[in-house]
């Protein structure tokens, strides 16, 4: 899961110019909790910070903002099954296992 998060972050930063990328990085708080409430709180906090940036007309920054919103929407969908409890769905668990196996195979080579 960490690899996917890093790739998502790199993609977000690649579509921005340097100043916009720095604004985006400084606007994303770190979180250690994976509860649905904290994910929503981080999304709202990030959206509020990004909404306050001065480069509202910067298309690269707007694309990065859209990627951040999409990232959190997908993350929340995969974490919550509608019960209020945080659980990864079966397909996500299978994907995580496949990535883990692939990473282990790469490390053995």
Q: Kindly state the average pLDDT of the residues 54-70.
A: 79
Predicted confidence at residue 106, as pLDDT, reads 87
Cross-strand partners of 86: 80
Cβ atoms of residues 79 and 34 within 8 Å? yes
Q: List Cα–Cα distances, 75 to 17, 25, 42, 104, in angstroms.
A: 26, 18, 12, 25
**Widest distance between CA atoms in the chain:** 48
Dihedral sign from CA coordinates of 90, 92, 97, 101: positive
Torsion 3-48-37-78 (CA) sign: negative
| Domain housing 58 | 2-108
Domain count of the fold of the chain: 1
pLDDT band for position 100 (cuts 50, 70, 90): very high
Question: Would you give the DSSP letter of residue 52?
Answer: T
CA gap 78, 95 in Å, rounded: 12
| pLDDT, tens digit (0-9, with 9 covering 90-100), for 9-54 | 666 666 666 666 666 666 545 544 445 566 677 677 677 666 665 5
pTM above 0.75, yes or no: no
């Amino acid at each position: 899961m960490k690899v996917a998060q890093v790739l998502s972050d790199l993609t977000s930063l690649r579509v921005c110019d340097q100043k916009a990328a720095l604004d985006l990085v400084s606007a994303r708080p770190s979180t250690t909790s994976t509860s649905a409430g904290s994910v929503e709180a981080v999304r709202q906090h990030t959206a509020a910070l990004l909404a306050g940036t001065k480069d509202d007309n910067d298309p690269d920054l707007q694309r990065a903002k859209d990627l951040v919103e999409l990232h959190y929407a997908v993350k929340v969908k995969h974490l919550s099954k509608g019960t209020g409890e945080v659980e990864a769905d079966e397909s996500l668990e299978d994907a995580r296992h496949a990535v883990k196996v692939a990473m282990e195979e790469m490390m053995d080579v």
